[in-house]
Structure 1
Amino acid sequence: MKLEAEIKNIKKILVDDENFFQIPDYQRPYSWDKENISDLIDDLLTAFQRNNDEHYFCGSLVLVDNKSDNRYDIIDGQQRITTFTIIACVFRELFGVSLGKKASKYISNSIQDEYEEDKRKLKFLTNEKYQIDFEETVLKRISFVETKNIEKTFPDNKYLQNAHYIRQFLKERVEQDNINIEDFVIWFYESVVLTSITCPSQDSAIQIFNVLNDRGMPLSSIDILKSTLMSKLSSKEDRTAFKTKWELINSNLKFSELEIDNMLNTYLYYKISSNPKNRLDKELIDVFTKEEKSSLEIIKEISDFSDAFILMSNQEDKYIYCLRYLRHKIYWNSILTTAIFEKYSHIEKLKELMVAYYYQNWVAGATVARIKQTSFNVLKLVKINAAIEKIVEEFKTNIDKYSTTKTFKESIESSSVYGRKWDRAILLLIEYFSSDEDKNNFIPLGPKLHLEHILPQTLTKTWEETFSAEEILEWTNSISNLTLLSLRKNVQAKNNSFQEKKLAYKNKDNVSTSYIITQQILEEENWNVQSLKDRKIKLLDKVYSKTLLFN
């Protein structure tokens, strides 16, 4: 058997009767989370709305034909194939009765064999529990429940968690954009494609996997953009000038520990103020063609924009520090770089509003789809130097539409702040604004930064005498019981008594903690329910002073 590579749609991969797949026992467990699901659903629906007559490429699938099991072993692509299967099951539960024969058959046959109901298209060999969870809670039937905390409701079942996220994100976008679900389901199976590579052996499959994931990549869209712009210059002197300018841009970015692809993507968002439909080079060349600018004019603008990007990225600014913790950096990056580039009149107020808006959405669990269009609208307003009141109105309209503030406050005031993706970022926001100094050093979310439970998770007798079981459940993982420590201080504090913890915070090894919010705890004589209530008020006051700006 030779290596075979082909572009295949999901219909051909999952629906066709002869294809059955399994995850080998040496593979890692399924690991996609809420953010992966949010990005995928948003990308799929955006592609369907904008380019539903084109294929949407969704990566590679590396397989080995396992003759002994009559299935294909998935060497690379298990996260996507598993997620596609979960999406099919969600389609079945949400829309099954309203879909036509074609869409319904696609869904059913991508989950199980058309003629053998118990023969599933995908199964796991990694762990018997995973297969049982997948089979009983997703493949057979999904019993959806209404819950505010999906991960807490299904702590050990990633498949069921993601089924609930898929349902949530699908329903939100379908209702918001009035999407024809019949057309979308058919498009999903017929137009979402992967590069399917079937290998003769496991060794050859792993070799292909390593090549696909190696740093040695083909010509990038940035290389194509550079080449295209240079080709439009007729004289050798102009091409030399362009090349010199390009290399200077790249050098300045690297000196600032920034990447040219991040800068150019930010520049693309500045130019089009909307979601890109194609590769960076195609999008920008289309823009430049419409503007009728020469390549030397273009490289001058890119250079000036790059300078603004570097200036924005290197600012010693508390608000920008807070924004740097956000996952979807492109939106705030493009808005603030544009503000600097266009010399926006109200940039300081703009930064305050952006921290308030993006943090409310982050803590409230909003998807990228919810913030995307508002970000583009604000970007457009900044480009025309609109009044700051217009931007306040834009943010507020979005916040009010989804009742974001209500969910934000419920999340941050809850008993389960610890373990959320934003827990350290919220405490760092409080930390930055606990000082009156204009400039602070940026604190990275690295392994040296730890969240300390003042009332420890593992209790000694002293703590159990101070707190009841109900109080422990209510307060242990709340914001008022959390503080910041360095790695060394965290190890020193351990699960000790409060007095011993204070010694570790203060002067263990003659080194005091550097965090203001932790130093403030040293003022407490004891740590009890009243201490927690008082600290909660102080912390929330600081958070709300920076985030509740749209009421």
Structure 2
Amino acid sequence: MKIESQDKRVDELLKGNIFLIPRFQREYSWEPDHVSEFWDDIMDNMTEPYFIGAMVVYKIERSTLAVVDGQQRLTTITILLCAMREAFKKLGRPELADGLQAYIEQKDRENKTVYVLKTESSFPFLQEEILKSDDAEVPFEIGREEEAIKKAYNIFKERIGQNLAEYLSNKEQTAEDNSKDAADWLSMLRDTVFDLNLILVTLDNEDDAYLIFETLNTRGKDLALADLLRNHFAKLIKAASEVDQVKQKWGKVHDTIKSSPVQLDPDTFIVHSWQSRYDFATKAKVFHKVKDTVNKKNAKSHLNRFVSDAEQWRSIFDTDYLWSKSEKEASRSLAALRTFKVVQPAPGILSLVRAYRDKQIKYRALRNALSNIEKFHFSFNAITSSRSSGGISGMYSSFGRSIFETTDSSGAAQAIAELVGKLRDREVPDIEFDAGFQQVIYTSKHSSQKALVQYILKKVAIHEGQPFRGDTEDLTIEHLLPQSSSKNDEDHETIGQIGNLVLVDSKTNEKLSTNDFKEKKLILKEHGYKLPEILENAEALTPEVILANTKRISELARTIIWKI
């Protein structure tokens, strides 16, 4: 491998070179914070040499270089130059604007105008709206990458505009002098950007680029696991025509996950997808596992599997995605796991959902398996906050592989039965469950468990045949012994217990208000609500009665409602 390195200023870098963003590179993704930080660095080093790191490229043609590392910085600098160009125009200095444009576009050997920065992913927005000095002529759409570019461009224009406004508003001198001072400052900013220093590392060919790209980023400094994986697929699956399979399919994976209203991480998806099919591996080791397994012969099939898995994996966390009304019980179990903040079952659940969507198992088998997983993690995580010795994640990964490898429904049924047996063996002791259940509270001062409390009350009410009025999603939590009666934290812990809480519709809740216990019982009865015997027979709602009702519900929970 031949590697050349040179110290370069930005102006030297841009003159006489065309920079292509290769297919394995990610989209422009700098957030406004990154752009603002870059601007602040320039301002802090105005007129001073400033080193911005290394840039790695490989040769395509004599003057065309493909960018391996440094794409984000190069794109940001180019956007900044375009913002300065527009500012020179507003100052009435077209010659200085044209001077800047000479670093943004140039003439090739056939005297055709080409942009110094060539990218396919943001075409034609970047070219027409940003790089072009004249008005846009080609229609374009605004996507995720275009939004990031537009935000960066607007930040630079705003910051430049703020600085120029200070010069132009000076009342102590003439407008002509103000305009000259503004142009001088903008020229100084231009020269500062052109004088930014970097090390240009040049490779001979694309194969070396893939290796350097991977080596530079395996440490996780710049790129995520998803970017490394895309690079690996791009290396193995060459574009045979104008249609770039890797770009399109990996883009679909990314869009499926990132478009979810629930915040999801593509790297976590890759780990779970891999664990559900092959072996248990941590995030740090998954890429090496993929490299050892995915080769030129099987790369396409592996890529297709990631594409299909992305939708199923998203539906595990985004329970409004892909699930129909007839599948609401399954989606409710998945929503419950989100309430418990549990992700360990994801690889196993991914294999279950995949088998269901592939018609390998029936909905009943999926529903029952998810229900048992929900019941286990309700006790293990939500109630007792038990810590696994490390076997839980491995258990679900192993289960996922068993489902993936099975060839018929009977094999899947056996794998599910074995998982349920393992979950049952890990059930928490009754005494730990009851102690944890009493610690689940909800008050205005202790609201972190509100979603869990709503979940518990709804499950208990459904089991006891509570005749809900209205939409169950609109029910509110009512404290039978009102929060206003609390005098200290100990009172809040009693008042917030499950035994003092009921779910009611909003209209009933308004009538209950802060009435005493006897009046609340009458109002609840009038509105069709049923109270358990322990509350029905109580003359007053004392801490002892609340605790007794909490213990009653706890026993009901562990022996019936959430019993595996």
TM-score category of the 2 structures, normalised to the smaller one: 0.3 to 0.5
Which one has more relative contact order, counting CA pairs under 8 Å at least 6 apart? 1
TM-score, normalisation: structure 1: 0.45
TM-score, normalisation: structure 2: 0.44
Which structure is larger by alpha-carbon Rg, 1 or 2?
A: 2
